[in-house]
Chain A
Amino acid sequence: MWIYERKLQYPVKIRRPNPALAKIIVSQLGGPDGELGAATRYLNQRYGMPYKEVAGILTDVGTEELAHQEMIGAILHQLTREMSPEEIKRSGFDVYFVDHTAGVYPASAAGVPFDAKYVGVKGDVIADLNEDLAAEQKARVTYDNLLRLIDDPDVCDPLKFLRERELVHYQRFGDGLRIAQENMDYRNFYGYNPAFDRKQPRR
C-alpha cells in the first residue's frame, strides 16, 4: 500500500506559463525514458527479485519515481495554465491541446502515447538490473537535452533536481547489482537465473 503525502519532493513554482516547454517536457512523463515507465519498471521487477536488499532498492526507488511523476505533472500543469487560443496556436501546443486540452496525458514529445514497451521486466536478475542502470542514464540524458533547450530558471530548477536523482538512482542500482553478484556464483553470473532456477545457495 502507498500513502499520499501532500507535498512535492522538490518545489515547483513556475511564474510564467509557457505551453511550448510543456510540449517537450511531457516526454519525461510518458516518453520512452519517462517517470511513468520508471516507476512501473521498478515496482513490477520486484516480484521476481530473490534478494531482499535488491527488492528493497526496487521498492524505494520505484516509490520515488511516483513522486517524480507528480513533479513533472505539476510542471506541465503550471506551464499550461491560463492559455489563450492565440498562445496555444503560436506555441505549437495546438496539436496536444486538440486531444487533451490542458490535461496531463502521458505521451512523448513527438506525441506518441505512453507504451508498456518502455517497461523492461525480463524476470532475470542480471538482465533487469542492467536494464535499470541503462534506464537511469537514458533519463539523465533526456533531462540534459531538456536543459539545453530551456532557459527559464523556474523550469530548469526542478528539472536539475530530477536529473540529479537519476545519478543517485544509478548508484543505488549499482549497489543492487553488486549484492546480486555477491549472492550468485561469482564464477558464472550468466549460468543461471536465481529468479527462476531453484536451489541456488545464498551467500
Chain B
Amino acid sequence: MNEQKKLFKTIRAYSFAVYEAILYLDGHPDDRRALAFYGKYSEKLREATARYEKRYGPLTAFGVSCGDKWTWVDTPWPWEYDSIN
C-alpha cells in the first residue's frame, strides 16, 4: 500500500472513531471516558487530515490551496472505482 493510501485509511479510521463518539455523546453528554476518547481521536484526525491535504490535495472544498488553477475537481470522485475512496 502506498503512503497516500495508508494515510487515507488512517484518516477514515480516526474519522469513524470520532463520529461514533459524537453519536454516543449526544445521548451521554457527561460520560468522561467518552469525552476523553473524543478529545484524543479528534486531535489525531485533525493532525492526519492536515498532513494529507498538504501532500495530496483537498478533502473538503475549504482546504483547497489555490495557485493559478482550481484543483478541487481534479482527482477522481470517491464513488469511482479508480479513486482513493
Interfacial residues, chain A to chain B (CB-CB below 8 A): 3-14, 53-54, 56-57, 60-61, 64, 70, 73-74, 77-78, 81, 168-169, 172, 175-176, 178-179
How far, in angstroms, from A22 to B50 measured CA to CA in the complex?
36
The verdict on B3 contacting chain A, using a C-beta distance below 8 Å, is: no
Contact A6 B58 (CB under 8 A): yes
Identify which of A5, A12, A172, A178 contacts B23 (C-beta below 8 A). A172
Given contacts A12-B85, A13-B85, A168-B20, contact A7 B78 (CB under 8 A): yes
Q: Smallest Cβ distance from A149 to chain B, in angstroms?
A: 22
How far, in angstroms, from A61 to B28 measured CA to CA in the complex?
15
Interfacial residues, chain B to chain A (CB-CB below 8 A): 8, 11-12, 15-16, 19-20, 22-24, 26-29, 58-62, 75, 77-81, 84-85
Contact B26 A175 (CB under 8 A): yes
How far, in angstroms, from A61 to B75 measured CA to CA in the complex?
29
How far, in angstroms, from A3 to B75 measured CA to CA in the complex?
18
Enumerate chain A residues within 8 angstroms of B75, measured Cβ to Cβ.
Answer: 6
How far, in angstroms, from A54 to B85 measured CA to CA in the complex?
31
Q: Smallest Cβ distance from A46 to chain B, in angstroms?
A: 12
Enumerate chain B residues within 8 angstroms of A11, measured Cβ to Cβ.
Answer: 12, 85
Q: Smallest Cβ distance from A109 to chain B, in angstroms?
A: 21
Contact A14 B77 (CB under 8 A): no
Contact B29 A61 (CB under 8 A): no
